[in-house]
Amino acid sequence: MEIISSEIQAKEVLRNYNDIVLVPTMGNLHDGHISLVNKAKELGKTIVSSIFVNPLQFGFNEDFDSYPRTLENDLEQLERAGSHFVFHPSEDILEDIKKRKASSLSRKMCGKIRPEHFDGVVTIVGKLFEVVRPQFAVFGLKDYQQFLIIKNLITLSDFEIEIIGSPIVREQDGLAMSSRNNLLTHDNRLLAPEIYKILNWIKDNISEKSNENLIKESTELLQTKGLTPEYLKICDPDTLEDLNHFSGRSLIAIAIKLGDVRLIDNILID
C-alpha cells in the first residue's frame, strides 16, 4: 500500500490508472469504513482510500478540534482491507480550492441545523474527484442526505463518476457505527441504541398509523428516556420531502444529540 501526501504526487502516481474506486473518509476508521473498502473491491481493481478531516464541513463550535484522529491505526486497517493507495493530504489541499454549493437538498434535515456543512462536503469531495479521477466512489448510507447530495454533485458537474451507496454497519446493540461514538460518555453510550430502536418501531407501525402520529408518539417515547431529536422525519428517499402517509418507499431519518455528540441514523424502506 502506498501513501500519497500531496495533490501533485497523487496526480503523478495515479495518472495511468483507469479503474480507480475512491473511498473518502475522515479517518478514525471502524468496521463501517472497512465495509466501504470491501464494496470498492467489488467495483474496480485499484482502491484509493482518502483520509482528510475537512475543516470546511465543520461549523462554529462543532467538533473539528476534538474529532478523533488515529492515522497509524487507520493505515494498518486500510492495508489489511486491501486498499492500494491512501491519499492523506495536508490542509494545503484547501489552497485556492474551487468552492462549490450543495444542491437544494442541503437545506433540509441536517442542513437546517448545519447550514454550511454540505457546501464544505461538496467542495472537498469535488477536489478529491479532480485529483484522484475515480470511475466509482463509495459512500456510506448512514449519511443518506450526503449520499443524495454527492449524487447531485455528479449530475450538476462534468464528473464521469458513478456514486455507490454502501449499507449501514451497526454495533451488536444496533447503534450505527460512527467515529463520533467514541466521544460518547458511558451513560450516553448506554442510551444511544434507543435511536435505532425507535426507527424500527416506526418501521413496524408505518402501515398502521399516520406519519404525523408516528412522529409524535416516537418523539414522546424518546423524551421519556431524556432524548429529544433535532429532527425525526418520514420522507421521500429521493427528494427528502415529508410524507403524509406510507406510500411504499420511505426514509425514516433522525438526528439527535447525546451530550456534545451529534448522531444520525436512518432506515430505508424500499
Distance CA 28, CA 185 (A): 18
Distance CA 128, CA 87 (A): 9
Catalytic residue list contains 245: no
Q: Where does the chain hold its CATH 3.40.50.620 domain(s)?
A: 2-166
Catalytic residue among 33, 84, 88, 117: 33
What pLDDT was estimated at residue 102?
A: 96
Pairing of strands 46-51, 20-25: parallel
What pLDDT was estimated at residue 86?
A: 98
pTM, to two decimals: 0.95
What pLDDT was estimated at residue 249?
A: 93
Q: Where does the chain hold its CATH 3.30.1300.10 domain(s)?
A: 179-269
Q: Supply 163's cell numbers.
A: 456514486
- Bridge partners (DSSP) of residue 164 are 138
What pLDDT was estimated at residue 1?
A: 97
What confidence tens digit (pLDDT) does each residue in 239-259 have?
999 998 888 899 999 999 999
Enter the CATH code of domain 179-269.
3.30.1300.10
3-state secondary structure of 208: coil
Q: How many residues does the chain have?
A: 270
Average of per-residue pLDDT values in the chain? 95
Distances (CA, A) of 231 to 198, 234, 257: 13, 10, 10
Strands in 114-159 per DSSP E: 136-140
Give me the mean pLDDT over the 20-33 stretch. Answer: 96
Is the CATH number of domain 2-166 2.60.40.10?
no
What confidence tens digit (pLDDT) does each residue in 38-52 have?
999 999 899 999 999
